[in-house]
Structure 1
Amino acid sequence: MATQQEHYEQLLADIYCWMMGGFASGLAKNVHFFEQHAITPGGSGLAINLGAGCGFQSIPLARLGFCVTAIDTSEDLLRELQNNAAGLDIQTVRDDLINFDHYTTGRVELITCMTDTLLHLESKDKVRRLFEKVATSLETAGKCILTFRDLSAEVFGTDRFIPVQSDDSRIFTCFLEFEPETVKINDIVYRKEEGKWLLSKSDYRKLRLSREWVEHQLVEAGLSNVETKVDGGLVTIIATK
């Protein structure tokens, strides 16, 4: 069983933009998201992007005027972010996202942890510690934005097979195995090279976190104003200090 970091290094990092529909598409979705929720600098202007990947959130935030610290464990994805962020106020850091407070010198206005990054933490205790650090690090009226899949409800049979992305030369399918506190994610990628289909595969675990549990932990950590939206199993939470 691979760790989250190993899984990305071995399989996902080099296809991440592709599996998200392409760089331009991923960027446009987040530009729309931040516009829709009126996310603009109004305080310190400091933002932290946890699980920054190739820059789908960091780049739009920097273009809005935030000074962004982008944290991820993948060297390849951070390099891709840097290549696409020329001239923008973005500092990249390769580290575990729980250590984000090591790279701040004062209170921050915004902390984002999106696209299932929260589920990559190893335990619920670590999620609680993260939320405590988030609450401590945010300035008054600062916001924390989370998006993640609610995997608390188990699915069965063939519903556990998820088509992720495909084109003429690549096919990406995911198979889910539900465990009491986690879901084992089995990622299967076929690549067509010189007329032959080659298989790559890896597995890792994601946490099963319900919307209600996350909301409660945010309030317990000190983020009293919590707004939640659920759309097709995707949970979006904006919590304000």
Structure 2
Amino acid sequence: MAYAHLASVYDQLMADSPYDQWLSWLEQVWSRLGRPAQVIDLGCGTGSIAIPLSKRGYRVTGVDLSAEMLAVAYTKMKQAQTDVTWVEQDMRELSLPPADSVISLCDSLSYLTEEEDVQQTFQRVFEHLNPGGTFLFDVHSPYKILHGFGDNTFTLCEDEVSYIWQCFCDPVRLEVEHQLTFFLRQPSGLYQRVEEEHFQRAYQTVQIIRWLVEAGFEEISVTADFLNEPPANTSERLFFVAKKTRH
């Protein structure tokens, strides 16, 4: 999974995503725990979080595994007349100068489908934070995997892009396979068919907290669905805040 075909239409498909709410959540947390000067955005995609943060005065490094997504992000950055450093890198092997905060939003960490990958990423993030730094991220909840995706099929039919999105859920692993078939309109008026396959997995909240503690984090808190309230059984998106203490 590297968003090879999806990159060109990703922003169109995500047009209704609540980026303003993600940005507000970040700044609410930072207002309590300290405003960072340097921010690393893991799984930055096309820069829809990194670019607005840069416009607000943060020094941002956007990290993504997809060169295609980063190419779109670079174009958007130029149009926004701001400056973000883009790095093509696997978050499990993060290797950058340290930052005051590491963020990973839009359920990017849910693409880590093995427990060892999550643990390794948490350790790399901890090592890349300055003392007192914060780690802010969101993931899909088990409820979202089982009931939001499940074994459902979703469709979209528009002039420029249409898709058939089939989900196949493994309830034991809390993992979903997304099989995506896109029909992209070409300049000729004909449609190109492309296919992508994505996997996402949820983990129990207690597991994630344990892995954060094992990596060295403290002052860990969990909320859900942009509400700043503890998760409920039917919460779909879990928000985690963890801190690297100064000692």
Spell out, residue by residue over 1:100-123, the C-alpha distance to the aligned partner (whole angstroms, 9 max, x if none).
2x221xx42110111121122252
Worse-superposed segment, 34-43 or 50-59: 34-43
Contact 2:44 2:63 in 1 (8 A): yes
The equivalent of 1:145 in structure 2 is 136
Q: Answer yes or no: is 1:239 the counterpart of 2:233.
A: no
Structure 1: how far apart are the matches of 2:197 and 2:205?
A: 24
Indicate which of 196, 199, 202 corresponds to 1:205.
Answer: 199
- Counterpart of 1:123 (choices 98, 110, 114) is 114
Q: Which residue of 2 aligns with 1:225?
A: 219
Q: Which residue number corresponds to residue 180 of structure 2? A: 187
User: Which segments of 5 or more consecutive residues in structure 2 lack a partner in the other structure?
Assistant: 226-234
* TM-score scaled by length of structure 2: 0.78
Which digits, 9 at most, give the CA deviation of each residue in 1:122-144, with x for residues without a partner? 52101101111212222232111
CA contact (8 A) 1:116 1:149 kept: yes
Q: Per the alignment, in what secondary structure is the counterpart of residue 146 of structure 2? A: coil
CA distance in 2, matches of 1:197, 1:85: 29
Deviation at 1:76, TM superposition (A): 2.0
- 1:78 is aligned, of 70, 84, 92, to 70
CA shift in 2, pair 1:167/1:28, >3 Å: farther
1:132 aligned onto 2:123 = yes
In structure 2, relative to structure 1, the CA distance for the partners of 1:221 and 1:125 (3 Å cut) is same
Aligned residues: CA RMSD: 3.0
Aligned to 2:91: 97
Offset of 1:169 from its aligned partner? 4.1
Match of 2:228 in 1: none
State the distance in 2 between where 1:51 and 1:19 align.
17
Residue 62 of structure 1 pairs with residue 54 of structure 2: yes
Q: How far apart, CA to CA, are the structure 1 residues paired with 2:156 and 2:139?
A: 18
* Distance of 1:190 and 1:215 partners within structure 2: 40
Change (3 A) 1:149 1:43: closer
Identity of aligned residues (%): 20
CA displacement at 1:92 relative to structure 2: 0.6
Is the CA contact 1:58–1:70 (under 8 Å) kept in the aligned structure 2? yes
Matching of residues 34-73 of structure 1 within 5 Å: 34-38=26-30, 42=34, 45-73=37-65
> Conserved in 1, the CA contact under 8 Å of 2:30 and 2:36?
no
User: What amino acid sits opposite 1:65 in the alignment?
Assistant: G
Of residues 183-192 and 112-121 in structure 1, the stretch that sits farther from structure 2 once superposed is: 183-192
- Cα 1:155–1:123 shift into 2, 3 Å: closer
Distance 2:33 2:12 in 1: 30
Structure 1 unaligned regions, length at least 5:
none
Structure 1 match to 2:20: 28
Q: CA deviation at 1:55?
A: 0.6
DSSP 3-state at the match of 2:46:
coil
Provide the rounded CA distance (Å) in 1 between the counterparts of 2:158 and 2:63.
Answer: 30
